[in-house]
Amino acid sequence: KAGVTQTPRYLIKTRGQQVTLSCSPISGHRSVSWYQQTPGQGLQFLFEYFSETQRNKGNFPGRFSGRQFSNSRSEMNVSTLELGDSALYLCASSSLRAGDNEQFFGPGTRLTVL
């Protein structure tokens, strides 16, 4: 079974631009979560989508948004990029079977904002 894939792996943008990151979950997984990881803040939860609906949201500004398609693939968008948005963005999928919250992560997208 193929794992979680994320594209692109690396991205360099300048302040004020916008960016869209893509995530394809494991086949059959309907929950997709996004995280931001930085050395200073650790792994911070952005949002979770389940069956095309945002079900949970972290404490990030409205510049961070996402969506999920009918095939469970997900995208996240960051508008008006700031230097502080430089981070590793991780996507994780879950089947949410039996009430556990096991997540399977993609390799991440390394975003650098100049």
Partner 1 sequence: TQLLEQSPQFLSIQEGENLTVYCNSSSVFSSLQWYRQEPGEGPVLLVTVVTGGEVKKLKRLTFQFGDARKDSSLHITAAQPGDTGLYLCAGAIVGNAGKSTFGDGTTLTVKP
Q: Applying CB under 8 A, which residues contact partner 1?
A: 4, 31, 33, 35, 42-43, 45, 48, 50, 55-56, 88, 90, 92, 94, 96, 99-108, 110
Q: Tell me the residue ranges of DSSP E strands in the chain.
A: 5-7, 10-13, 19-24, 31-38, 42-50, 53-57, 64-68, 74-78, 87-94, 104-105, 109-113
For 84, the 3-state DSSP assignment is helix
Compute the chain's Rg from CA coordinates. 13
Nearer to partner 1, 43 or 83 (CB): 43
Q: Supply the minimum distance, in Å, between the C-beta of residue 33 and partner 1.
A: 7
CB 110 within 8 A of CB 10: yes
Closest CB to partner 1 among residues 52, 102: 102
Measured from the CB atom, is 13 or 110 closer to partner 1?
110
Nearest distance in Å: CB 34, partner 1 = 12
Choose between 81 and 90: whose C-beta lies nearer to partner 1. 90
